[in-house]
Chain A
Amino acid sequence: MQGRLSAWLVKHGLVHRSLGFDYQGVETLQIKSEDWHSIAVILYVYGYNYLRSQCAYDVAPGGLLASVYHLTRIEYGMDQPEEVCIKVFVPRGNPRIPSIFWVWKSADFQERESYDMLGISYDNHPRLKRILMPESWIGWPLRKDYIVPNFYEIQDAY
């Protein structure tokens, strides 16, 4: 079953894949990394002016990394705003996604956090550096194949 937005995108000939609806009824789409920036601008023009959240996760060890964007439309007096969830999958070896900072400013720190934790680098982000871990950290902590180095401070409780 295709959602409204998916039908609209198909009508305009934009390449995407519909991933159905999640448990809250939010439509989910999968978009390729190279098309993402242009589709983001198109969605912004369409009316989605609020990037509610941007997160990322590791799909499987040795698999892909996913960057998830939750968009909605904020307007005065609107009761049930339309929302859409967009996932961009990238290979683990060269995880590069165009940054949408210039479209929605709230992506600034959120993309930095995805970079810090999973190593997905966002092209054209103005200051892409580590935000949670110390700047000299090596490794991407939230990847499923990350091994914690044997620091003394990390000990099992007796």
Chain B
Amino acid sequence: MAAASCYITSIKLPTFSWNTASRKPPQKRFSFQISAQQQAEVQESEQVKAENENETEKQGNLKQKTLRPVEPQVNVRSRNLARDYGGQWLSSVTRHVRIYAAYIDPKTCAMDQTQMDKLTLILDPTDEFLWTDDTCNKVYAYFQELVDHYEGADLTEYTLRLIGSDIEHYIRKMLYDGELKYNMNSRVLNFSMGKPRMKFNSNELPDVK
């Protein structure tokens, strides 16, 4: 991680934006987390946002961080990136974490890729673990922290993969600490983060931070 962070500091442009929301549609257990930042040019809402950030900082001093809400958007259509972007598809996809640089509507799943200032996190679509609201919100808060930390880096697949890997390591740490359990009724039960062990704690592993 030390090597990765020194690559990031040498890159310039602030391109990430931040708001967060999470919804769970009742039929599928998809948890979406949409994060978008405030643009610095927007003058009038700057003051409101500063207040929001102050509030979240004060509340962040307590244990639970409140998630910053994002405005729900109507009439979102699936849109691909314009041709001058080369039609890229910025995403990082692993088994439990899918991050897209787009706005994905939580209900209709329409993916609007032209809104590149937002990142959407889809958490564990295959339901390998049993999630509660509490654990979900911890992952969302960690995602928020990570995006704030990576602010100023280039919007490339490399940084999205770094963010995705950090979240996966965090999920693995939660599993080893016992906060997450494997879902025994999942369609594919292959214990991808290690077989269950007796009396196991994340302190016993040298590389799990």
Interface, chain A (partner B; CB < 8 A): 134, 136-139, 147-153, 158
In the complex where A136-B156, A136-B157, A149-B162 touch, is A158 in contact with B3 (Cβ < 8 A)? no
Of the candidate stretches B20-28, B36-44, B164-172, B173-181, the one touching chain A is B164-172
Could you list 26 examples of A-B contacts with CB < 8 Å?
A134-B157, A134-B158, A136-B154, A136-B157, A137-B158, A138-B158, A139-B3, A147-B3, A148-B3, A149-B1, A149-B3, A149-B4, A149-B165, A150-B4, A150-B165, A150-B166, A150-B169, A151-B161, A151-B162, A151-B165, A152-B164, A152-B168, A152-B169, A153-B165, A158-B194, A158-B195
Q: Could you say which residues of chain A place their CB within 8 Å of the CB of B156?
A: 136
Q: Which residue of B lies closest to A136 (CB)?
A: B156
Query: Could you count the A-B residue pairs with CB atoms below 8 Å apart for me: how many are there?
Result: 37
Is B7 located at the chain interface by the 8 A CB criterion?
Answer: yes
In the complex, how many angstroms separate the beta carbon of B106 from the nearest chain A beta carbon?
25
Q: Are B94 and A153 in contact (CB under 8 A)?
A: yes
A149 and B158 CA atoms in complex are apart in Å by: 10
Q: Are B94 and A152 in contact (CB under 8 A)?
A: yes
Q: Which residue of A lies closest to B194 (CB)?
A: A158
A152 and B172 CA atoms in complex are apart in Å by: 10
Interface, chain B (partner A; CB < 8 A): 1-4, 7, 94, 154, 156-158, 161-162, 164-166, 168-169, 194-195
Q: Could you say which residues of chain B place their CB within 8 Å of the CB of A134?
A: 157-158
Q: Could you say which residues of chain A place their CB within 8 Å of the CB of B7?
A: 138-139, 149
Q: Which residue of A lies closest to B159 (CB)?
A: A136
Q: Could you say which residues of chain A place their CB within 8 Å of the CB of B154?
A: 136
Q: Could you say which residues of chain A place their CB within 8 Å of the CB of B157?
A: 134, 136
Q: Are B169 and A136 in contact (CB under 8 A)?
A: no
In the complex, how many angstroms separate the beta carbon of A99 from the nearest chain B beta carbon?
25
Q: Known contacts A136-B157, A153-B94; can you find 17 more A-B pairs with CB under 8 A?
A: A134-B158, A138-B7, A139-B3, A139-B7, A147-B2, A147-B3, A148-B3, A149-B3, A149-B7, A149-B165, A150-B4, A150-B165, A150-B166, A150-B169, A151-B162, A151-B165, A152-B94
Q: Could you say which residues of chain A place their CB within 8 Å of the CB of B2?
A: 147
Checking A136, A150, A152, A153 against B1 with a beta-carbon cut-off of 8 angstroms, the contacting residue is A150
Closest 10 CB pairs of A and B: A136-B156, A152-B168, A147-B3, A152-B165, A149-B4, A136-B158, A151-B165, A138-B7, A150-B1, A136-B157
Q: Could you say which residues of chain A place their CB within 8 Å of the CB of B161?
A: 151
In the complex, how many angstroms separate the beta carbon of B166 from the nearest chain A beta carbon?
8
A150 and B165 CA atoms in complex are apart in Å by: 7
In the complex, how many angstroms separate the beta carbon of A145 from the nearest chain B beta carbon?
10
A134 and B94 CA atoms in complex are apart in Å by: 16
In the complex, how many angstroms separate the beta carbon of B176 from the nearest chain A beta carbon?
13
Q: Could you say which residues of chain B place their CB within 8 Å of the CB of A152?
A: 94, 164-165, 168-169
